[in-house]
Amino acid sequence: MSQASDADHDVCGMSVAIDVVGGKWKLHLMWVLGEGPQRFGEIRRLLDGVSEKVLAENLRHLEASGVVHREIYPEIPPRVEYSLTPLGQELNEALGPLERWGERNRDRVLGRPLTAAS
């Protein structure tokens, strides 16, 4: 086996998932797109505080990872919609328990200062 193949086998599933959705906006993007196809401007309005540049970078990353589909409609003016692929829908379903954990533990987590030792 080559070194690259050995390294690929050493990557755990959690690392793969975190690579796809890690960062400030990707989880939020997945959640927004879980509601159905959205245009860039709609997504930006729903994700208060994200810049156009950061949103575009995150959408490109999710598209390259295979969890988001970008559909360009041949219209004037051009219309582009983003939606979850079947792989993205599966990932979004896996995020459900994480969201429920956050809801259940919001006060416990946000009610005290977070430290590196916590």
Evaluate whether residue 71 is within a structural domain. yes
pTM of the model: 0.78
Evaluate whether residue 42 is within a structural domain. yes
Evaluate whether residue 115 is within a structural domain. no
DSSP conformation letters of 53-115: HHHHHHHHHHHHTTSEEEEEE--SS-EEEEEE-HHHHHHHHHHHHHHHHHHHHHHHHHTS---
In which domain, by residue range, is 47 found?
A: 9-105
Evaluate whether residue 94 is within a structural domain. yes
The total domain count for the chain is 1
CA distance 52 to 30: 17
Evaluate whether residue 110 is within a structural domain. no
In 3-state terms, what secondary structure has residue 118?
coil
Question: What is the CATH number for 90?
Answer: 1.10.10.10
Site of tokens 């598209």: 63
Per-residue pLDDT of the chain (118 residues; tens, 9 = 90+): 445 555 555 678 888 888 898 989 999 999 999 999 999 999 999 999 999 999 999 999 999 999 999 999 999 988 999 999 999 999 999 998 988 998 888 888 888 655 555 4
Cβ 39 vs Cβ 80: under 8 Å: yes
Evaluate whether residue 28 is within a structural domain. yes
